[in-house]
Amino acid sequence: LQDNIAKATAYMAHFRDTGVLNHIDGQSVPAASGQTFETITPTDLSVLATVTRGGAEDIDRAVAAAKAAFPEWSRTPGAERRKILIKVAEAIEARAEEIAFTECMDTGQALRFMSKAAIRGAANFRYFADQAPDAENGEVTRTPTQMNTTSRRPIGPVGVITPWNTPFMLSTWKIAPALASGCTVVHKPAEFSPMTAKLLVEIAESAGLPKGVLNVVNGFGEEVGKRLTEHPDIKAIAFVGESRTGSMIMAQGAATLKRVHFELGGKNPVIVFDDADLDRAVDAATFMIYSLNGERCTSSSRLLVQDTIYDEVCARVADVAKRIKVGHPLDPDTVVGPLIHPEHESKVLSYFDKAEEEGATIAAGGEKVGDDGCYVAPTLFTKANNDMAISQEEIFGPVLTAIPFKDEDDALRIANDVDYGLAAYLWTNDLNRAMRMTDELQAGMMWVNSENIRHLPTPFGGVKASGIGRDGGDWSFDFYMETVNVSFPR
């Protein structure tokens, strides 16, 4: 651990010296106002660096740079864009340790997950790069009198607004397809975790991405985020974050008819029937809530268990929760690190009181760990019903609410009775039941007898308050491109 902390300190030294600056038109620049704020590490709340606090003027400059870079980048042949983006992927791989260590210190996420997330960032670039050469190709259709050619072209400069959980990976997931499509980008990273966005733009430019194609403006959502969503030269906003922020962005973008793509919150059920492989189910359910600090949109935060096995499954989950290692994110053995920020920690801790007030039982955790930093014990609430706040609201921490159900209808009713609809996990060995259930579950993504295993060509996104639109495969290109049709007489 001490070696890793020393390495992380060395990796972040330049941020301590210069602060986390904006990156506009190939240059590292402070905010026009000269204002800054501080980013802290949730490991001990010490200051990691000062961060540029951008304002409207900085957004305007970044959008102007993205607009100026757009004609050339959008006309760069897809095969050429592919080459550059593959080089970005290679450069990310070469600096994966630096990215992972920086991310751990800035977000509190454990190294065992962040080292994979950094590599996944490279995979995102590689995957979307490979599709760049054919992204504009559509089809030709003939009628007796007309010939139609349908094709796609990049929509223009776009805004990407990202949250603080796994910020590097999520940013690549949004930015790589935008660049592969031929769009230029202004990125607004989350104020709690600004460091790796700056690394990404520097890595991309050192790998050959032309200046102005990717720009980063730091600052607060209601200041720079708002301005970005209102800017007339920004043609689309890809946003990942809370549902209520999505509503605000939709309203802010309305006047300029902004195209929006939203990946929002979740309160995802993992449904366990009594015919399931319980070892696998318990393993997957605990992994999906206690990995990544539970700060994960697809976490399985509601455990729905058939009443015949409810006590047994809850006892097993509580046992796992109590044995999970909570500790410094750079300790290779740590599973749960500190939550992102004291503000978020207070929100998560408030649910411990709420659970007791509502009449649930705290079967594991339910307390802060240690006096320093934002460490919270992996927690299980039992004897809950679906009307409780702990069952309805996204807590976004290592906190699981277990609710019993009687039969299929009951499980479906409970699973669907929330505002969200991002993911659902189903454990049963009855194939017919799995088909009936997945037909009726209100979720954009479902996994049967599996934890969340992502395959990049498949669609990612939610229904209800969990989002609008899909990422992955060709869906990302559809968002960042306009489909046009040209018709000729024949």
Binding residues for ligand NAD (CB under 6 A): 161-165, 170, 188, 190-191, 220-222, 225-226, 229, 240-242, 245, 248-249, 252, 263-266, 297, 394, 396, 422, 462, 467
How far from 393 is each of 261, 348, 388, 426, CA to CA, in Å?
Answer: 22, 11, 9, 21
State which residue, 255 or 431, has the beta carbon closest to ligand NAD. 255
State which residue, 136 or 263, has the beta carbon closest to ligand NAD. 263
Burial annotation 232-243 (CB, 10 A radius, 16+ → b, else e)? eebbbbbbbbbb
User: Between vectors from CA 476 to CA 471 and to CA 481, what angle results, nearest 5°?
Assistant: 150
State which residue, 39 or 245, has the beta carbon closest to ligand NAD. 245
DSSP 336-390: B---S-HHHHHHHHHHHHHHHHHT-EEEE--SB-SSSSS-B--EEEES--TTSHH
Burial annotation 150-189 (CB, 10 A radius, 16+ → b, else e)? ebbebbbbbbbbbbbbbbbbbbbbbbbbbbbbbbbbbbbb
Residue 325 DSSP code = P
Reduce the DSSP state of residue 150 to 3 states and report it: strand
Q: How far is the CB of 340 from ligand NAD (least distance, A)?
A: 8
Say if CB 9 and CB 46 are below 8 A apart.
Answer: no
* Continuous segment of H or E residues that includes residue 266: none
Q: How far is the CB of 211 from ligand NAD (least distance, A)?
A: 23
State which residue, 19 or 221, has the beta carbon closest to ligand NAD. 221
Q: How far is the CB of 233 from ligand NAD (least distance, A)?
A: 16
Q: How far is the CB of 241 from ligand NAD (least distance, A)?
A: 3
Rounded Cα–Cα distance for residues 374 and 349 (Å): 10
State which residue, 170 or 318, has the beta carbon closest to ligand NAD. 170
Of all residues in this chain, which one has the CB nearest to ligand NAD in the complex?
Answer: 221
| Token pair 């630096």: residue | 98
Rounded Cα–Cα distance for residues 257 and 273 (Å): 46
Rounded Cα–Cα distance for residues 217 and 185 (Å): 11
How far from 274 is each of 302, 307, 341, 448, CA to CA, in Å?
Answer: 17, 8, 39, 15
**Catalytic (active site) residue 263:** yes
State which residue, 336 or 443, has the beta carbon closest to ligand NAD. 443
State which residue, 263 or 331, has the beta carbon closest to ligand NAD. 263
State which residue, 191 or 205, has the beta carbon closest to ligand NAD. 191
Q: How far is the CB of 342 from ligand NAD (least distance, A)?
A: 14
Q: How far is the CB of 365 from ligand NAD (least distance, A)?
A: 20
* Continuous segment of H or E residues that includes residue 153: strand 146-154
Say if CB 216 and CB 189 are below 8 A apart.
Answer: yes
Q: Write out the two tokens for 286.
A: 């605990």
Q: How far is the CB of 305 from ligand NAD (least distance, A)?
A: 23
List 191, 223, 263, 295, catalytic entry: 263
Q: How far is the CB of 170 from ligand NAD (least distance, A)?
A: 6
Say if CB 269 and CB 425 are below 8 A apart.
Answer: yes
Say if CB 162 and CB 197 are below 8 A apart.
Answer: yes
Cite the active site residues: 263
